[in-house]
Amino acid sequence: MSPLEPFGARLRHAMDARGPLCVGIDPHDSLLSAWGLHDDVQGLERFTRTVVDALADRVAVFKPQSAFFERFGSRGVAVLERAVADLRDAGALVVLDAKRGDIGSTMTAYAETFLRKDSPLFADALTVSPYLGYGSLKPAVDLARDNGCGLFVLALTSNPEGAEVQRAVREDGRTVAATMLAHLAAENAGEAPLGSFGAVVGATLGDLSSYDLDINGPLLAPGIGAQGATPADLPAVFGAAVRNVVPSVSRGVLRHGPDAAALRAAAERYADEVRAAAGA
């Protein structure tokens, strides 16, 4: 298999071509029920297939949440494997939302699961947790760099509990989150048009001007739609880094299913609103 262009470059091209939007694929039991589906593997497969068929050829990025597939065991993971492959075949980028984080050989195994080209779950990027120390992510950083993939590192998440760790102040006076952002800026130094190592930064957090979000990499921004943020909020949250934001919408799009046309209209509306807000 030929080497992939770096994830950051592919992401920039995809968002320029298809619009700056990431659609989360989160098959909550409540969403399955709202679609008239049973909370079982058959319902999961029908839900996932409908989203893929409706949106794979027009949305830039998809973010399947691994947990909602894993809860059905091996048959659920098989649905995820097929979805990842089909999305990528349609020209979309896939960020596997697995939030893996560990040390040594275990972190290496997680990285190989999602970032090794011959893996059934090979994705364009992976969400990871750095809270065993940023250096613990080295196996994933190395494999991502080797295979043209990316990482999204949890930095400033939208859940209220995150602040007790992420906004804790180190001995050097920097917060933990600021330290993570600095690590990512170093990973992305000199990359163009965009580095491949991004941060997860919640769109619901309000003014973040005290943080340097200019990491020359993408900022995955959950929280738009059901969690209360809107595309119009993005400039106030992200400032000058807003063009590098990858806004993630899940229920805000998915609640319009199972009608394929309604799913497409919702995704297009969010992409247009983000493009207008970011001045893209």
> Which residues are marked as active site?
99
Residue type, position 223, single letter? G
Q: CA-CA distance, 150 to 240, in Å (whole number)?
A: 22
Q: CA-CA distance, 100 to 47, in Å (whole number)?
A: 25
Q: CA-CA distance, 261 to 63, in Å (whole number)?
A: 20
Query: What is the DSSP-derived secondary structure letter of residue 6?
Result: P
Q: Which of 29, 81, 90 is nearest to 61 (CA)?
A: 90
**Cβ contact 178:148 at 8 Å:** no
**Cβ contact 187:140 at 8 Å:** no
Helix, coil or strand: residue 252: helix
Task: Give, for 43, the enclosing helix (H) or strand (E).
Answer: helix 41-55
**Which residues touch 121 (CB under 8 Å, ≥6 apart)?**
77, 80, 81, 84, 96, 113, 114
Q: CA-CA distance, 40 to 235, in Å (whole number)?
A: 40
CB atoms within 10 A of CB 219: 28
